[in-house]
């Protein structure tokens, strides 16, 4: 059976999380359908030094304005969707049920079909409107996973912090990985 994941990239800072997730999913033999907002494309290029569609050659990128895409229909089978990083603008639009772009429509399809939707907000601090939007999405079935890496695995470089967040995203999707060392209670086994 084909394993297919949708990855949405928005204009929030933190494109390195998307870059790592795309590369990890492809390395685990997942088919990846990518959607980037116009600002997501700009921020990704600025932060990662390359166009988003150069991040991983095997990702199938779809235009955010193409509502005729298969991703706009619940009959097109996927195993879920991740929006990483997720801007507060996109998060608010998702929470309101908007579907006027492919990324937003794919998120609505993911929720209505009861497939996993993982939203990775990167901005901070949150205001009450943003928190209420997160709550609304969580009540609709999304997992809200802020880009807040842990430190119990004793990270030594930025990649370790990024891998912790991406690993937690994969955990939410039930995808096995070895991106970070799991907490075991410390002590001699550490």
87 is in an annotated binding site: yes
Bridge partners for 135 per DSSP: none
Contact 24/98 with Cβ under 8 angstroms? no
122 is in an annotated binding site: yes
178 is in an annotated binding site: no
127 is in an annotated binding site: no
24 is in an annotated binding site: no
**CA–CA separation, 121 and 169 (whole Å):** 12
139 is in an annotated binding site: no
Token look-up 């609505």 returns: 108
11 is in an annotated binding site: yes
- Closest-CA residue to 88 (of 47, 62, 127, 34): 127
23 is in an annotated binding site: no
How many degrees, rounded to 5, is the angle at CA 135 between CA 131 and CA 136? 115
152 is in an annotated binding site: yes
Binding residues for dimethylallyl phosphate: 152, 168
Binding residues for FMN: 11-13, 37, 87-90, 122
Binding residues: 11-13, 37, 87-90, 122, 152, 168
């Amino acid at each position: 059976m084909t394993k297919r994941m949708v990855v949405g990239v928005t204009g929030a800072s933190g494109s390195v999380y998307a870059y790592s997730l795309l590369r990890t999913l492809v390395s685990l033999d997942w088919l990846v359908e990518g959607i980037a907002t116009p600002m997501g494309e700009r921020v990704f290029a600025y932060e990662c030094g390359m166009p988003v569609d150069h991040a991983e050659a095997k990702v199938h990128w779809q235009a955010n304005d193409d509502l005729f895409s298969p991703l706009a229909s619940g009959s097109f089978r996927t195993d879920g969707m991740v929006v990483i990083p997720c801007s507060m603008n996109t998060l608010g639009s998702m929470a309101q049920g908007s579907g006027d772009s492919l990324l937003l429509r794919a998120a609505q399809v993911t929720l209505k079909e009861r497939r996993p939707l993982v939203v990775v907000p990167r901005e901070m601090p949150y205001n009450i409107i943003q928190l209420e939007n997160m709550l609304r999405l969580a009540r609709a079935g999304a997992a809200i996973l802020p880009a807040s890496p842990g430190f119990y695995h004793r990270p030594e470089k930025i990649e370790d912090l990024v891998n912790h967040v991406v690993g937690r995203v994969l955990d939410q999707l039930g995808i096995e990985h070895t991106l970070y060392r799991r907490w075991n209670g410390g002590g001699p086994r550490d």
